[in-house]
Amino acid sequence: MRKKIIAGNWKMNKLPNEAIEFIEEITPLVKDTKNEVILCVPYTDLFYSLLTAQNTNIKIGAQNMHFEEKGAYTGEVSPQMLKSIGVEYVIIGHSERRQYFNETDDTVNKKIKAALEIKLKPIVCVGETLEQRESGKAEEIITNQIEKAVKDIPEKEIQNIIIAYEPIWAIGTGKTATNEDANNAIKAIRNKICQIYGQNVSESIIIQYGGSVKSTNCKELFTMSDIDGGLVGGASLDPHEFAKIVNYDK
């Protein structure tokens, strides 16, 4: 049985004092869950969040990184820098990074490899636009993104990635994919993983849904056969709302 992983993506929100307050508030609310809880916070909140989340069941992740270890890349943060302070997860290839910061399938692939090499766990995002969905190309687009993302990554490493299926038209819009559409897209991703890595890997790899997940729709999504939890943006900014999502099965 695959476990459920619920990750918050704060995007460019919360100052360190707000991050500390959030974690202090949510800790008692999620301490008994058997689901995995991750908060992906801005770089400037990482250290404070890690300290505050020590001795809790809350894991901390970053939202991006460079693929090089070091060098003349002004403004960038390396996988080693994240790892050195105790970060465990990193979102890679979020659609906002693909859309606004020229992230490509190739840089996504490089970043996943760099993360895995030092045992940071990537949360790899894929998803189609509304136009692509309406033209019936959604599955082709997302399976293609998956194929390029995992290119040349060996089977023993691939188990350490989490995939997040996030239809772009559902992100921050209040529109959620129907449970069936989300589940079918995730099944298509699982089939692609099966083609590349075989059935064992495809049955054990974690694939989340993301895009306007909230406390009122999470249960129906997370109880679908192939959806292993969620990547949550807006609804992860409030500790009570996010705790309800983590505790969807209580």
Smallest gap, in angstroms, from Cβ of residue 231 to ligand PGA?
A: 5
Smallest gap, in angstroms, from Cβ of residue 190 to ligand PGA?
A: 20
Going from the C-alpha of 59 to that of each of 55, 75, 121, the distances in angstroms are 10, 25, 11
Q: Which amino acid is at 182?
A: A
Binding residues among 165-194 for ligand PGA as defined by CB under 6 A: 166, 171-172
Among 96, 128, 139, 166, the active-site one is: 166
Q: Among 55, 57, 207, which residue's Cα sits nearest to residue 127?
A: 207
Please state the φ and ψ torsions of residue 81, each to the nearest 5 degrees.
-65, -40
Verify whether residue 240 is a known catalytic residue. Answer: no
Closer residue to ligand PGA, CB minimum distance, 196 or 237: 237
Q: Among 189, 204, 74, 69, which residue's Cα sits nearest to residue 140?
A: 189
Q: By rule CB under 6 A, what count of residues binds ligand PGA?
A: 13
- Distance separating alpha carbons of residues 120 and 227, to the nearest angstrom: 22
The residue range among 111-119, 129-137, 198-206, 226-234 that interacts with ligand PGA, by the rule CB under 6 A, is 226-234
Verify whether residue 94 is a known catalytic residue. Answer: yes
Q: Which amino acid is at 83?
A: K
Per-residue string for binding with ligand PGA, 1-40, x by CB under 6 A? Answer: --------x-------------------------------
Q: Which two structure tokens, joined as six digits, stand for 49?
A: 């969040």
Smallest gap, in angstroms, from Cβ of residue 168 to ligand PGA?
A: 9
- Distance separating alpha carbons of residues 165 and 190, to the nearest angstrom: 11
Smallest gap, in angstroms, from Cβ of residue 74 to ligand PGA?
A: 26
Q: Among 191, 186, 190, 238, which residue's Cα sits nearest to residue 209?
A: 186
- Distance separating alpha carbons of residues 38 and 25, to the nearest angstrom: 15
Binding residues among 141-170 for ligand PGA as defined by CB under 6 A: 166
The answer to the question of residue 63 lying near ligand PGA (CB under 6 A) is no
Smallest gap, in angstroms, from Cβ of residue 42 to ligand PGA?
A: 14
- Distance separating alpha carbons of residues 169 and 86, to the nearest angstrom: 33
Active-site residue set: 94, 166
Q: Would you tell me which residues interact with ligand PGA (CB under 6 A)?
A: 9, 166, 171-172, 210-213, 231-235
